[in-house]
Amino acid sequence: MKKIIILISMVIVSASCSEYQKVLKSTEAGEKYVLAEKLYNEAQKENSKSKYRKALRLFEQIVPHYRGKPQGEKLGFLFADTYYQLGDYYLSSYEFERFQQSYPNSERVEEVVYKKARSFYELSPGYDVDQTDTHKGIAELQAYLNVYPDGEYTDRANDMASELRIKLERKDYEIAKQYHLTGEARAGNYQAAITSFNNFLANNPGSPFREEAHYYRFDSAYQLAINSFRELMEERLEEALEYYQDYKKYYSEGKYSEAIEASVEDIKSHLQNF
């Protein structure tokens, strides 16, 4: 019985593949449309990448044929969404944009605007490389939120936009921190770190990296001061104390409190010489 079931399954699969190849080679756009939609629906139910790929091959052949026709709107969405489901986000963002421009009054336009934005979110790389797609993702997500403040995807869009903003903040923070970490080898980098942290704190008032930025700004100023010529040291020590006060103002019991207090004692010891 088991062998019979396997044999029947093989026959069904073989027949299905044969039908697909026949339609794929056919010149009948209508047949391709019907089978492509069928495969797309089955792919959705089964979460089948292979069926999405089969549907895509058919969509690619017939989309130009149906542009401007009544079926074009539905087909345009299925085409873009198939790219999206397959993780080809460059092409999905392009096709969703094309759909939005062609059918601005479609009942699917909210979903299209969201998925276009999410395509750029998915394309956003790690924080340490070029962030063009991250900026694009934020802009597209904000565009969705502006038009659909109470939309179906609003909560998720807000979360994704916040995640991308934090990624940009981390990039700026890590650049400033790198200046700090290389300051011992190149003293001028401590000054660059202070400037970078000042800019970071001014531009990112709600960042999760603020405590670290306050601390490393202070430590950069401290390291710069104690390694300065005597005629510059007093002023720089006083500046470091100002950054210490800023840290204590916001993080009176912060995770760097012990380290910062030890440095402040050393600052006060140096200042006694003046």
Q: Mind listing the pLDDT tens digit for each residue in 75-95?
A: 999 999 999 999 999 999 999
Q: What is the mean pLDDT of residues 14-35?
A: 81
User: For residue 226, what pLDDT band results from cuts at 50, 70 and 90?
Assistant: very high
pLDDT, position 27? 76
pLDDT, position 16? 54
Burial class (CB in 10 A: 0-12, 13-18, 19+), 4: exposed
- pLDDT of residue 19 exceeding 90: no
Eight-class DSSP state of 228: S
In whole angstroms, give the CA distance from residue 221 to residue 238. 9
CB atoms within 10 A of CB 109: 17
Closest to 205 measured CA to CA, from 250, 160, 156: 250
Specify the CATH architecture of the domain 182-274: Alpha Horseshoe (1.25)
- pLDDT of residue 13 exceeding 80: no
- C-beta pairs of 19-25 under 8 Å, 24+ apart in sequence: 20/54, 23/58, 24/57, 24/58, 24/61
In whole angstroms, give the CA distance from residue 38 to residue 130. 40
pLDDT tens track for 167-220: 999 999 999 999 999 998 887 899 999 999 999 999 999 999 999 999 999 999
CA quadruple 86, 87, 91, 94: dihedral, nearest 10: 110
Asked whether the beta carbons of 83 and 95 are under 8 A apart, the reply is yes
User: For residue 18, what pLDDT band results from cuts at 50, 70 and 90?
Assistant: confident
pLDDT tens track for 96-128: 999 999 999 999 999 999 999 999 999 999 999
pLDDT, position 186? 83
74's tokens: 């539905």
pLDDT, position 184? 85
User: For residue 17, what pLDDT band results from cuts at 50, 70 and 90?
Assistant: low
Q: Where are the domains of the chain?
A: 182-274
pLDDT tens track for 247-270: 999 999 999 999 999 999 999 999
pLDDT, position 209? 97
89's tokens: 């986000």
In whole angstroms, give the CA distance from residue 153 to residue 245. 43
